Amino acid sequence: MNKADFGRYLEDRYYKQMDWYSKKASHCQKGYQGLQTLVIIFSIMTPTIIIIGVGWLRWLAVISSGIVAVGATLLKAFKFHENWINYRTTRETLRKEIHYYNARLFGYREAEDPEALFVERVEAVISRENTLWIYVQKAKEEKTQNSHRRTNP
């Protein structure tokens, strides 16, 4: 691979993928932390409201427990925590690869075409992450289908 093609690959693919994984990891982190905070706060509030249990506060306890249920369901359905870790891990793996290339470590020194090796290794990381995403989506779909079968005989 010539240097010009490698430069285009870095700009058109590698750095864009790095940016995408970083943004997705950040989005999932915020989603996870926001929903988790909501669940914790309302989980603590609910028994306190029940103990006080006067008049309209009973309705507040019902609403509070509903918020906990919805928050926990959203955490499970959207897998913010798992995706956050997966996207961040993929991004960090990609980030290390450019350092290995620049320092000529882990096979780059001996490689006949270090640029082609870099592209191959980066694409393998991206492919592995895509395969994992597809697997998680299929598992989620199967779980949804199985729960519908149990509730709709």
Grouped pLDDT means (10 residues each) for the chain, 153 residues: 95 97 98 97 92 84 95 94 95 97 96 96 92 75 68 58
Q: Which amino acid is at 84?
A: W
The answer to whether the CB of 23 falls within 8 A of the CB of 83 is no
Instruction: Identify which of 100, 96, 99, 87 has the alpha carbon closest to the alpha carbon of residue 126.
Output: 87
Query: 135: exposed, middle or buried (C-beta count within 10 Å: 0-12, 13-18, 19+)?
Result: exposed
Q: Is the pTM of this model over 0.95?
A: no
Q: What angle do CA 40, 44, 45 make, to 5 degrees?
A: 115
